[in-house]
Amino acid sequence: MELEALRSIYEGDESFRELSPVSFQYRIGENGDPKAFLIEISWTETYPQTPPIISMNAFFNNTISSAVKQSILAKLQEAVEVNLGTAMTYTLFEYAKDNKERLMENHRPVCSATSISNIISVETPNTAPSSKKKDKKEQLSKAQKRKLADKTDHKGELPRGWNWVDVVKLSKTGSKDDE
């Protein structure tokens, strides 16, 4: 019955996703909002007498520190305990929407690791010129270049069939082995 209610309430809501008949995701906040997060609620077999499984392990939440995730999950668990025995998925999603700012007050985006890697990549050309030397092509002598040019056409490609095996030669050799 709760499943039908959720489907009708969130019909057309882009933030809501039904992963399976017992598992749901809801994005709290707008796309592009640095304080947006995704909650996944999965019902157990004995739900609502037992608490649902609440998760924030979605890829969408990668910029949120684990401490903030734990804080959000702890506050949601408090709401679960209050509503135990009743249908609570809608209540949990609405609680998270209403308290988004309070839940994310300690949030500092964890994209500092990417900015550090950008700084490192900017510095690497100055500190490692030897790696560029390894990327250079091997230099050929005039004779090697001429030999290579004779093998290839004007585009530098080998002619069609350059590695084909002479079938007639093989069939003659094969027939001698058979006799």
Q: Domain map of the chain by residue range?
A: 1-104
What is 1-104's CATH superfamily?
A: Ubiquitin Conjugating Enzyme (3.10.110.10)
Nearest to 42 by CA among 8, 81, 88: 88
Element (H, E) at 101: helix 100-103
pLDDT in tens, 74-98: 888 888 888 888 888 888 888 888 8
pLDDT in tens, 21-67: 888 888 888 877 777 888 888 888 888 788 888 888 888 778 888 88
Is the pTM here over 0.85, yes or no? Answer: no
